[in-house]
Structures are given as structure tokens and as C-alpha cells.
Structure 1
Amino acid sequence: MMRSDFAAFWPTVRRMLLMLALLGVWPAQAATVRVLQVDGVIGPASADFIVRGLAPAADLEAVVIALDTPGGLDTSMRQIIKAILASPVPVITYVTPEGARAASAGTFILYASHVAAMAPATNVGAASPVAVGGMPGGGRPSPKADDGGDDKSDASDKTQKSADKTGPMTPSLGDDTLARKATNDAIAYIRSLAELRGRNVDFAERAVREAASLSAEAALREGVIEVLAVDVPDLLKQIDGKEVALPAGKRTLATAGAVIDNREPDWRTRMLAVLANPQLALVLMMIGFYGLFVEFTSPGFGVPGVAGGICLLLAMYAFQMLPINWAGVALVALGMILLVAEVLMPSFGVLGVGGIVSIVLGGLFLLDQEAPGFAVPLPFIAGTAVAAAALVFLAGTLFLRSRRRPLSSGAEEMLGLTGQVTVTEGVDSWALVHGESWRVSSRRPLNPGERVRVTGIDGLVLTVEPIESDQGSPS
């Protein structure tokens, strides 16, 4: 009886033993860590790349931003930081490879991340905001901003001595209210990030106020970063077991042996990086304007109008991604209109010079702020203005020359041509003019072989007059 009962339950027992064996030897699925490669200026393209990389990351163990940047736009930086602070998974910013840097906007991103790491021979800092054209005051920092001291002359002397030892520093704030507002806003922002992550607050403020910078070893020693790693696998090994604070609560990292999912910028990001260039946007705007001008003045071909419309729309798309001063765009547009008006109106160069000056001023005022990789240098602006003026004047010269040429088509071309009478039937006569047989009429009867000159045209009938002597062969 007992033997039969055991035989009945044996299949169930065998399945249970098999499941226990599988649970004992089957390896658990490894965690996945996504690595976003960000190399270059922080702009709309890199912001879009990072935000899209963080959006579908809920099933990941962590996201690593492999960063190497000289800085970038404030708007793009804040967009990235907002995405990091709201990320459901830990974000590790890793300044890599050796020789890379996290300057300016990169410093803010490093401070905002849950874990900050750097590779050897890298640096971080120099996060002072820079306005278009720099700041007044000779290019040296002002000690008066938020120093809390009473003796301003002593502070000025100390700063001057420090500047003499260390060389030029950030542009002076002086009495420029806008500059002080931008600097104090940046200081408050990076201090809040440092306090949130428990990192060195003093260096964060000095990085903005004095453009201070640290090497990777010094940053680790002073509590700016948590990890110094030679590569991504070493980084994941060192942060394994580290506890980080997320919006949903605290979380312990399990990154040792994680699967690395490398993400390079795709075609969309590369295209945005090309378009988000103020120099290219300026050139596209000019090509678009002049393409439409050529199409409107000489309709029928179509290519200038189509190309001009596409370039103008691309320029507008680039402008809306950048911190553009629309007064600068309006000045550039006014300059192009004045150059065209110079060709069509006898202003003796006044409109042309005004157009060049307007384009140069518009280019200088084009950006609300200056950042690495997004500046519009004066030589480029001047060269663009001169090239636009030369193109317009060349087109105007060709246009005026074409107006002086004799007509080569149409009814007016027939006036003055000579021909020879071929057939005469009563009052009707035909003559060979311009290689074609035309019906002609004259005040007196015509004879075959007689030479005539065209004096008028009425529909398909030419009015001619006889030529008394041979004054040339038929045209």
C-alpha cells in the first residue's frame, strides 16, 4: 500500500526536485546600465539626446553620462538637469576619457547627478556665466559681489594681487546689474545642487564666481566627486552597493557585472547639432532670402524659390532652438532688404552701406548669450556682409547689362529687320524675314525680289517699306 502511494506521488516530487535544481544553478539575469556618450558643447542636440536617453530608462539599473564638454548653453544645461533630477533611475556623470573636462555647464551637470565620477587626468570647474561680448571692467573678477565685507578697497587690492599671481580670470561684473544677476543666479543654482547631493559647496561657488577648476584627484580629495575610475567597468564595480536618493525613495546600486548598453548620438542628434549653429543659421537665412528674391524677380525656373524656401525654414528652425535676440535677426533682414534696394534704386551707395552696417550689427546682437561653440565672431559677420553685398551688386550689374542689350525675342525684335519679297499675288505679298515667310503690306505695290524693311507689325502681318538701295542682307 505504501509502495503504491509513493509511486503515485513520485512524478510530483520529481518535478519539485527539478525546479529546486534549476533555481540553484540557473544564473540570475544581469542588470543593464546604459551609457550615453556626450562629446562636445552642451546645446539643443545634446540636451535632446540625454533627455531621450533618460526617458525610457525605468527598467535600467542606472544611466551613465560619459561627458567631455567645454560648456554650452544655459537653457540646454537646465533642461538636462531637470531630466536628471526627475529620473526614476540613478544617473552617474562620468568625465571621460583621460584628458576630458566638465567645464562650465558640465560642472552643473556633474553636481546634479546622483553619482559624480571622473577619469584620471581630467578636470572640472570654470563655470562662470559669460554674456555676449564679455562683461565690462577689464576682464577681472569683482570682489564686491556678495563678499559681505566692509572695506571695499582692501578687497579690491586683494583681488588685484590674486589676479596678478594667477593670471586673467572671469570677466568683471563691475556695476553691470545684468552680469551680477546672472552670476548670483548661477551661484544659487549650483549651491542648491551641491547641497542636494552633499558635495563641496565652497568649490561650487568658486567655480562660478572665480572660474576655479580642479583636477580629478583634487576633486576626489575635496569632495566634489565620489569616484575616480579608469573606465566604465571600473566605475560600475566601485559604485556597486552605493545608496542613492531618488524621487521614489532610496535605492542601492547593483552594478557589478552589469551589461553595458552604449548609446552613441544618432542621425537626429547629429542633424540637430549641425542646425543648432548660429553661423550656419545666418548663412541659411541669407540664402533663403536671396533665393526667394531671385524667384520673385525672375519667375519660371523654380529652383531658387524652392531652395530659398527650404533654407529660410531651416534657418527659422535653428533660431528657435538657440537663445536668439530677434532684434538681431530683424537687423540682418533689414540689411539684406537695403542691399537689394541699392540695386533697384539710385541711392549712390547710401542704401548699400546702410545694408552692410545693419547686417554687421545684427550679427553682433544675434545671440543673447555667448557659449563655447555658439559664438558668432566679428570676422565671420563682416565677411558674410561683404559677400552678401558683392553678390547683390554682381546680380544688379548683370541685370543692368541685360536691360541695355537689344531685344532678341518677341514682336519688338522684328522692327528694323530687312527681308526680300518672294511672292506677290494682287494686293497680297509675302516676304522672307528672319528666315520665315511673312505676309507683308506696304503703301505701294511690291515686286518679287525687292528688298524691304519692317516698320511695324499687326498680328501676323508685317508693315514694310521698300529699300531703294542694298543696305545689308536679310537677317
Structure 2
Amino acid sequence: MRFKTALIVLILFAMLLPTAHAQGNTVYVAKIDGMITGYTVDQFDRYITEAEKANASAIIIELNTPGGRADAMQEIVMRIQNAKVPVIIYVYPSGGMAASAGTYIALGSHLIAMAPGTVIGACRPILGYGANGSIVEAPPKIVNFYIAYLRELAEMSGRNATLAEQFITEDRSVTSQEALKYGVIEVIATDVNDLLQKADGMETKIPVKDRGKVVLHLRDARVVYLEPSFKDTVIKYITDPTIAYVLLNLGFIGLIFGFLTPGWHVPETIGAIMLVLGLIGLGYFGYSSAGLLLIALAMIFFIAEALTPTFGLFTVAGTITFILGGTMLFGKGGGEYLVSGALYETLRIIIIVMAILLGLFFAFGAAAVVRAQRKKPEAGKEELVGAEGKVIQELNPEGLVRIHGEIWKAISKDGSRIPAGEKVRVVEVKGLTLIVSKEGDLDGGS
């Protein structure tokens, strides 16, 4: 009897064990598409952090980039090499590339895969572009530094260091088949599922933090796709060098045109927004810095609306930039990349509501305060000239009048008699005595 009971328990345990293992075997997949900038650093960090929190078996980064900033690339490489889960760089889709900065990132990863029809390489450092569009070459000491840096990345992962050096010295690029043949990459895969099957059982080329080199168990893993957020989509387009340059120039044109045509406010408003978006598009900022810059611009718009009411133009501009800034500043959490990101959805609603409330406050409340501050005081003697009042004690020629609810001693201007109840207007103030004229006499004499 005891033997049968033990056998049943063992059978149930054997049935449940694979299920528990399957549930824990999860692979995250994210996409990085476009220039490598400060924003890309944030994206890599958030994607990898999300996989670490879930204790995923690996995270696959679908990479398609023509290159980008060297400082951002180095931060990304450091984040990958300090990741607590294996990071697989997958050059994808067909027709895509991991050029320039993308090559360094790939060689710094735990495993490299490429889709058929993709290329990798051509990563010689440059300082930028001249006024005529020609490339400004980096000096030898910078080139030599990156040769040593790329060779080290290749050697520490056991990849082809000689070919890696040629990526810089000869601006060489290779196809996926050549990269596999010459030992630069580990896998050629047509899609994520194909990659999971082919990489299953492989060992990472570099150690995973606190775990050493890890054997990948990816077959039949549950795949979780991390979708890009709205801000990632916006950044992808404005960080394109051509678009960023156009935004900068249109921004300057808008500001200049606005200053030359004062009173309209539309050109300088649109110009200011384009100028800030162009600066953000240069890629020197991370999401937090870009968010702060947009929120600062929104505050300028709100204050301008209060000081120089524009029938809502500055309010609308401020509201839009505040929402964009809030989204970039506070939308950092990993939950925003999951379909069930309820927390981020709530935060986004709060950002929109706060932007509208701030806009209404500055459009009506703050503007009213400014108008009240600018309004001439009604109590001073000088402000009494021209004020209308009513005789409460007959002027003959002296008497009393009521002006703004106050009783003043008054004298008729021409010494004539003005009976009580008549309307008068102040024409002069002498000490504490008002010189007044009847409304009809004043109108008639004008």
C-alpha cells in the first residue's frame, strides 16, 4: 500500500516538474531601431532591467542601426556586460544592419545572431561632417583607441579579433554568412523562433554577471515581446540626423520671423517647439533631460500666456509640450512596455489632466492676477481726474459729492450752482478739494 502511494506521488511530481520548468523558461524580445543616442542607453537599460526582474532565461534585442554616438555605445556595452541575464543581439530584419556603433554593441554581447540579408561592420570612428557634407576624420589616437577597444571586445568573447580590427582600419563590412564563417557571430536565424531553436544548448561567449558563462535553454521558451512606447516612436524619428537638422533650422526661421512680425505669436511659438525638438533630436540628452527641457518650455509658454494673453495659443502650446515632457520624464518604468502596464496608463492620464489644469490656470487665473496688478489704482488723487460722481450736497459753489463710494468736498468749476442729485465729473484736484463740472456742461464745452 505504501509502495503504491509513493509511486503515485512520484508520478505526479514527475508530471508537474516539467510544467513548472516551462513556466519559468521565459525569453524577452525587444527592438532597437535607428540611431544610437542617449535615449538608446535608456532603452537598453529598461529592457534589460525588465528581463532581470522576471529572471528571464535571456533577452533578445532585435538591432537595426546605422550607428551613432560613441559615448552612448560604450554605456550600452557596459550595461550588457553587467546584465544578470544573457543578452543576445539579433541583427534583424532582413535588409537591416549593425553598422558603426552597432558593431561594438554586438561584439560586447553574450551571443550574436543575424538574419539572412543583414550586414555588420564598417565602424571607423569619425568626428562628424563638414559644412560641405564631407566626413571629418578622427585623429590617429582616437582611431587607435577604438581599434584596441573593439579587439578587446572580440578577444574576450573568443570572436575573430583580426576581422574586427578590419572593420575599423579597412571600413570592412560582412554579410551574415561571412560573419558566421569567419567567427564573428554564432547564429544565422530567419526569425525569433528559429533563433531560439538554434541557440538552444549554446554557451554564452562572455560571462553573465554573478553566474559565469551560461548554457542557454531556449527551446520551447515562453516569448514575451516588449513593445516600444509612444516616446520611443517619437524619438526614433526626431533623432534621425536629417530630421533633427531640419527641425533646428525651421525653429530658427520661426523665431526670427516671429520677432520681425510682433503681435501674431504663431511663428515664434511653432519655432520654439521645433528648436527644442531639434536639440532633443541631436541625441545629447537622455529621456529625463529631454523631459525636463520640454517641461521648462511648457512653463515659458504658460507664463507668456499670463503676461501677454494670446487667446489660448500659448496655452495650447504649453499643454502639448507639458504632456510630451511628462511622458518622457516619468515614463521610465518597465511596465510601460507591457500590454498590462496599468500603472503607466494611470500616470499618463494624470500627466494629461495636470497639463490641462495648468493650462487653464495660466490662461485664466494667472492672467487675471496680472491684469489686476497692471490695473491703475482707483484711490489716488491723480486717478480722480475724469471720474464721474454725484452731488449729495448742493454746490453753491461749494458742496459735497460722492466719487467711488467716497464723499469729497467739491467746488463747481465756473462757480455755478449745481443742485443735489446732479451728475458731475472731476476736472481738477486741489489738495483735498475736487473741481467739478456738470456732465452736460463738460460735454457741451468739448
Work out which of the residue numbers 427, 432, 436 in structure 2 matches 1:455.
427
Contact persistence 2:124–2:171 (CA under 8 A): yes
Work out which of the residue numbers 188, 192, 199 in structure 1 matches 2:148.
188
Task: For residue 237 of structure 1, report the CA deviation from its aligned partner.
Answer: 0.5
Instruction: Give the letter for the 1:17 counterpart.
Output: L
1:424 correspondence with 2:394: yes
Matched with 2:9 is 19
**Secondary structure, aligned partner of 2:7:** helix
Matched with 1:34 is 28
Matched with 1:239 is 199
Q: Deviations over 1:51-72 (max 9, x none)?
A: 2332325832222111122323
Query: In structure 2, how many angstroms separate the alpha carbons of the residues matched to 1:210 and 1:288?
Result: 50
Query: In structure 2, how many angstroms separate the alpha carbons of the residues matched to 1:86 and 1:451?
Result: 87
Query: In structure 2, how many angstroms separate the alpha carbons of the residues matched to 1:208 and 1:458?
Result: 90
TM-score, reference length from structure 2: 0.59
Matched with 1:337 is none
Cα pair distance change 1:473/1:200, threshold 3 Å: farther
Matched with 1:153 is none
Structure 2 counterparts to residues 246-395 of structure 1, below 5 A:
246-247=207-208, 248-266=211-229, 279-280=279-280
Task: For residue 440 of structure 1, report the CA deviation from its aligned partner.
Answer: 3.1
Query: In structure 2, how many angstroms separate the alpha carbons of the residues matched to 1:127 and 1:118?
Result: 17
Cα pair distance change 1:20/1:70, threshold 3 Å: same
Number of matched pairs: 333
Contact persistence 1:417–1:474 (CA under 8 A): no
Cα pair distance change 1:460/1:43, threshold 3 Å: farther
Task: For residue 442 of structure 1, report the CA deviation from its aligned partner.
Answer: 4.0
Instruction: Give the letter for the 1:49 counterpart.
Output: Q
Contact persistence 2:385–2:427 (CA under 8 A): yes
1:131 correspondence with 2:102: no
1:440 correspondence with 2:430: no
Cα pair distance change 1:455/1:470, threshold 3 Å: closer
**Secondary structure, aligned partner of 1:448:** coil
Query: In structure 2, how many angstroms separate the alpha carbons of the residues matched to 1:256 and 1:438?
Result: 97
Work out which of the residue numbers 375, 385, 397 in structure 2 matches 1:415.
385
Matched with 1:401 is none
Contact persistence 2:396–2:417 (CA under 8 A): no
Task: For residue 451 of structure 1, report the CA deviation from its aligned partner.
Answer: 9.5
Matched with 2:436 is 464
Task: For residue 453 of structure 1, report the CA deviation from its aligned partner.
Answer: 6.2
Moved more, 232-241 or 410-419: 410-419
Query: In structure 2, how many angstroms separate the alpha carbons of the residues matched to 1:239 and 1:94?
Result: 11
**Secondary structure, aligned partner of 2:43:** helix
Percent identical residues: 33
Moved more, 411-420 or 26-35: 411-420
Cα pair distance change 1:249/1:466, threshold 3 Å: closer
Cα pair distance change 1:69/1:474, threshold 3 Å: farther
**Secondary structure, aligned partner of 1:249:** coil
Matched with 2:77 is 81
Task: For residue 107 of structure 1, report the CA deviation from its aligned partner.
Answer: 1.2
Contact persistence 2:199–2:216 (CA under 8 A): yes
The unaligned stretches of length 5 or more in structure 2 are: 240-276, 281-289, 330-374
Query: In structure 1, how many angstroms separate the alpha carbons of the residues matched to 2:170 and 2:393?
Result: 99
Instruction: Give the letter for the 2:217 counterpart.
Output: A
Task: For residue 104 of structure 1, report the CA deviation from its aligned partner.
Answer: 2.1
Cα pair distance change 1:18/1:460, threshold 3 Å: farther
**Secondary structure, aligned partner of 1:440:** strand
Query: In structure 2, how many angstroms separate the alpha carbons of the residues matched to 1:217 and 1:98?
Result: 13
Moved more, 197-206 or 414-423: 414-423
Instruction: Give the letter for the 1:279 counterpart.
Output: L
Query: In structure 1, how many angstroms separate the alpha carbons of the residues matched to 2:435 and 2:399?
Result: 11
Moved more, 58-67 or 204-213: 204-213
Contact persistence 1:89–1:246 (CA under 8 A): no
1:46 correspondence with 2:44: no
Query: In structure 1, how many angstroms separate the alpha carbons of the residues matched to 2:395 and 2:73?
Result: 91
**Secondary structure, aligned partner of 2:443:** coil
Work out which of the residue numbers 213, 232, 246 in structure 1 matches 2:173.
213
Instruction: Give the letter for the 1:42 counterpart.
Output: I
Query: In structure 2, how many angstroms separate the alpha carbons of the residues matched to 1:249 and 1:418?
Result: 91
Contact persistence 1:107–1:124 (CA under 8 A): yes
Contact persistence 1:420–1:432 (CA under 8 A): yes
Instruction: Give the letter for the 1:256 counterpart.
Output: R
Query: In structure 2, how many angstroms separate the alpha carbons of the residues matched to 1:42 and 1:433?
Result: 72
**Secondary structure, aligned partner of 1:17:** helix
Cα pair distance change 1:122/1:457, threshold 3 Å: farther
Moved more, 192-201 or 419-428: 419-428
Matched with 2:251 is none
Contact persistence 2:28–2:56 (CA under 8 A): yes
Task: For residue 106 of structure 1, report the CA deviation from its aligned partner.
Answer: 1.3
Query: In structure 1, how many angstroms separate the alpha carbons of the residues matched to 2:430 and 2:100?
Result: 78
Moved more, 238-247 or 201-210: 201-210
CA RMSD of aligned residues (A): 4.7
Q: Deviations over 1:213-270 (max 9, x none)?
A: 3332332233222211110010011111112242533332221111112112346766
Contact persistence 1:48–1:269 (CA under 8 A): no
Instruction: Give the letter for the 1:246 counterpart.
Output: P
Matched with 1:328 is none
Contact persistence 2:129–2:136 (CA under 8 A): no
TM-score, reference length from structure 1: 0.56
**Secondary structure, aligned partner of 1:251:** coil
Query: In structure 2, how many angstroms separate the alpha carbons of the residues matched to 1:458 and 1:287?
Result: 51
Pair member with larger Rg: 1
Structure 2 counterparts to residues 87-106 of structure 1, below 5 A:
87-106=83-102
Q: Higher relative CO (CA 8 A, sep ≥ 6), structure 1 or 2?
A: 1
Query: In structure 1, how many angstroms separate the alpha carbons of the residues matched to 2:431 and 2:142?
Result: 76
**Secondary structure, aligned partner of 2:159:** coil
Query: In structure 2, how many angstroms separate the alpha carbons of the residues matched to 1:181 and 1:293?
Result: 49
**Secondary structure, aligned partner of 1:92:** strand
Structure 2 counterparts to residues 112-191 of structure 1, below 5 A:
112-134=108-130, 139=134, 171-173=136-138, 179-191=139-151
Query: In structure 1, how many angstroms separate the alpha carbons of the residues matched to 2:307 and 2:386?
Result: 33
